[in-house]
Amino acid sequence: FIDSRLRDAALPFWPDVASIGSHVGGDIVIGRGATISVNDPATGQLLFSYADAGADVAAKAAAAAVAGQAEWARLTAAGRGRMMQAIARAILAAAEPLAQLEALSAGKPIRDTRGEVAKVAEMFEYYAGWADKFHGEVIPVPSSHLNYTRREPMGVVLQITPWNAPIFTAGWQIAPAISMGNAVILKPSELTPLTSLALALIAERAGLPKGVVNVLAGFGHSTGQAALAQPAVKKVVFVGSVPTGRLIGEAAARRLLPSVLELGGKSANIVFADADLERAAIGAQAAIFGGAGQSCVAGSRLLVQSAVYDRFVDLVAQGAAKIKCGDPLSAETEIGPVNNAKQYDHVLSLIREGADEGAEIVAGSNGESTPGGYYVRPTVLKNVTNTMGIARKEVFGPVVAAIRFETEEEAIAIANDSEFGLAGAVWTTDVARAHRVAAQVKAGTFWINSYKTINVASPFGGYNHSGHGRSSGVEALYEYTQVKSVWVET
Ligand code: NAD
């Protein structure tokens, strides 16, 4: 089943789409597994359904990737770079239909998806530049030998991604992988496969050899696991939740496969009394409510110094009440629904749990479900302590837990009292304090008087249970290559 609005949005990519399948070796391959039904997040009604790819299609993808990688690695590095520039241009040429397809199928505001598609083009441009500039070196060894290193591709890389930023995450992982001569099997979330499938198609239309990027449309426990079991797969990069990350890390370890795990977060956004409070309040809202809170780096714990706690939380609550929450396809919409029914129930239950634990809801939802789509009003919980469930569990929704602190030491201790360590921020006008706090918070990304600024050139990844390994920047190229040391008798 494909809803007629979705069929229209998909027309620029698949003019005669009859059913949704995987993209393997340049062909659409229809799975034969269980039916996957995906609801429109904005209405709760069925949007599309398709058959899980399953083990046969995963095996075909592995074979296609091996062939594709052999062809791709034969190109010069500069040739790969030129091809990636062509892909970047092709993404920009298809930017609006891609943004529309993402907004409709993932329930993300069109203003966000437009920005994310532009960033995907930037990722291909950025890594196109690296293709012939990340290489081995000659090592001055103390003997009559020449020793040099080669940076070689891993071969076939499996990437498993979540539903919160589907095309952004696909580009974020595919671009560095292929710039280094790898082929990719991407297994996007079963809830949001469409824009990843479209990206593979766009890349091939721009000239990328078939088989270099393959996309499996299917469930994680079946198709994802089958892909992970393919002997051709030499590395797995996983972006998603901690429980699934643990399963994938264990499966990879059994196969002695290297892995990158980009997992969840419960990031502390720390506001000192000496901060520019107006700016910090706008920043605190963007930190948690952007993307309806479905952002791994969301500033979900708002730590506010006691002297300004009431005033600042009021500012954030007033701002939250003004946010335009609605139809993802409307240009006015600032935040859309959460992605799916399970996530909706999860977010609402954590709001109720917070209230039961004694937190005060000062803006947004009371945790009761409403008819229609999966909408949750931007929600602010006051008088939260860091021991409450609402301060410890990842909500992945537009819900902020405001916690009070007295001193810098206490703020740092609360920030670090978490199983996660993905991101954090500090708002202060004291420069020395800003750098002290940045150095002491255990997180892979940290902002000073800002939140959520990211760029493809900068490394990204987690501390603690937020994962290991790095994406983005030059760091990603270390993940997507292996080094060989060559000795020559002179
Ligand atoms: P999830 O862990 O449920 O699923 C992620 C992916 O794993 C999906 O493609 C899913 O099909 C697949 N999967 C599920 N079970 C599997 C299994 N047994 N074997 C193989 N694959 C399996 O996560 P989600 O609900 O889609 O996404 C939300 C989570 O993602 C949040 O925790 C969020 O913080 C995290 N996330 C992290 C980052 C980051 O970079 N650190 C970025 C975005 C999202």
Measure the CA dihedral 456/462/468/469, to 10°.
20
- The confidence score (pLDDT) of residue 396 equals 98
d(CA 193, CA 190): 6
CA of 52 to the centre of ligand 1 (A): 17
> Where do runs of H (alpha helix) occur along 290-331?
309-322
Does residue 169 register a pLDDT over 90?
yes
- The answer to whether 215 and 31 are in contact (CB under 8 A) is no
Residue of 169, 244, 344, 456 with the most ligand 1 atoms within 8 Å of its CB, for mutation = 244
- The answer to whether 121 and 92 are in contact (CB under 8 A) is yes
- The confidence score (pLDDT) of residue 18 equals 85
The confidence band for 303, taking pLDDT boundaries of 50, 70 and 90, is very high
Query: What contacts 221, CB < 8 A, 6 or more positions away?
Result: none
pLDDT digits (tens, 9 = 90+) for 118-127: 999 999 999 9
> Which residues does a 6 A CB cutoff place in the pocket of ligand 1?
160-164, 187-190, 219-221, 224-225, 239-241, 244, 247-248, 262-265, 296, 394, 396, 422, 462, 467
- The confidence score (pLDDT) of residue 16 equals 83
- Closest to 339 (Cα-Cα) out of 42, 20, 5: 42
CA of 25 to the centre of ligand 1 (A): 25
Q: Which atom of ligand 1 is nearest to the CA of 187?
A: 9
pLDDT digits (tens, 9 = 90+) for 447-471: 999 999 999 999 999 999 999 999 9
pTM listed for this prediction: 0.98
* Number of Cα atoms under 13 Å in the Cβ half of residue 143: 7
pLDDT cut 70: percent of the chain above it: 100
Q: Which atom of ligand 1 is nearest to the CA of 247?
A: 18
Separation of first and last alpha carbons in the chain:
67
Question: Which candidate in 262, 394, 408, 479 is catalytic?
Answer: 262
Q: Is 262 a catalytic residue?
A: yes
**ipTM (interface predicted TM):** 0.96
Sheet strand arrangement including 301-305: 360-363, 379-384, 399-405, 301-305, 268-271, 423-427, 445-448
pLDDT, the chain, mean: 98
Q: What separation in angstroms does the CA of 6 have from each of 34, 98, 385?
A: 21, 12, 44
Does residue 398 register a pLDDT over 90?
yes
At 48, the amino acid letter reads F
